Amino acid sequence: MRFLLRLLSPLIALVVAAVGVVTTIEVVTAWLAPSSSPLIVPWPTWRAGLEGLTWSSATVRTIAIVIGVVGLLVLLVGLVARRHDVELTDPVPEVTVTTSPRSLARAVGHEVRSHADVVSASVVASQKKVVVKAGTLDAPDAVRGAVRERVDEVLARLPLAHRPRVSVSVAPTKGVK
């Protein structure tokens, strides 16, 4: 969602800037040569068409609903794209301590990869869940318990405000040559 927000923000800014430039050109043209026709936007024709509309017209209501829905979608994208930090226990009431999910995943991944039987590991973390996918040359069932124990040890050492759920999967990998 953050990618979508980073994409939408400049696009909306460009549209607003373009409307501002076109409006400025039309206003300056109307001031300097009021009798000439408009340069870019046929605003006299639009004004004549809009004079017959009222607030209770179906066209006005439809446009208002569409603008409202688009505005709510942009607001929703903005709210969903916020940072999802992992809360740690506060040392004192005046101080709030957080870490990023990436840092938590890095700490867990470092510990999992230090296990002798783990060849590769991938860790994804959030405030609610830690997902570990490890690869081993040995029997996966034998390694899964040891990896789970290491993950639990790391999470116990960290001052997490809420302990996340842990999901560990271990799969056999082909031998490295």
So what's the pLDDT on residue 6?
81
Pairing of strands 129-136, 118-125: antiparallel
Res. 175 pLDDT band, cuts 50 70 90: low
Q: What pTM was computed for the model?
A: 0.59
Taken as a whole, the chain contains a residue count of: 177
So what's the pLDDT on residue 177?
43
Contact predicate 166/149, CB 8 Å: no
Would you tell me the crossing angle of helices 58-80 and 2-32 to the nearest 10 degrees?
Answer: 140
Res. 1 pLDDT band, cuts 50 70 90: low
So what's the pLDDT on residue 15?
94
Q: Which domains does the chain have, with CATH numbers?
A: 2-80 (no CATH), 98-172 (3.30.300.20)
Average pLDDT, the chain: 88
Contact predicate 126/164, CB 8 Å: yes
Contacts of residue 41, defined as CB under 8 A and 6 or more positions apart, other chains included, come to 22, 26
Query: pLDDT by residue (tens digit) across 80-112?
Result: 877 788 888 888 888 888 899 999 999 999 999
Dihedral Cα 168, 171, 172, 176, nearest 10 deg: -80
Query: pLDDT by residue (tens digit) across 2-41?
Result: 677 788 889 989 999 999 999 999 888 888 888 877 888 8
Contact predicate 98/86, CB 8 Å: yes
DSSP character at residue 61: H
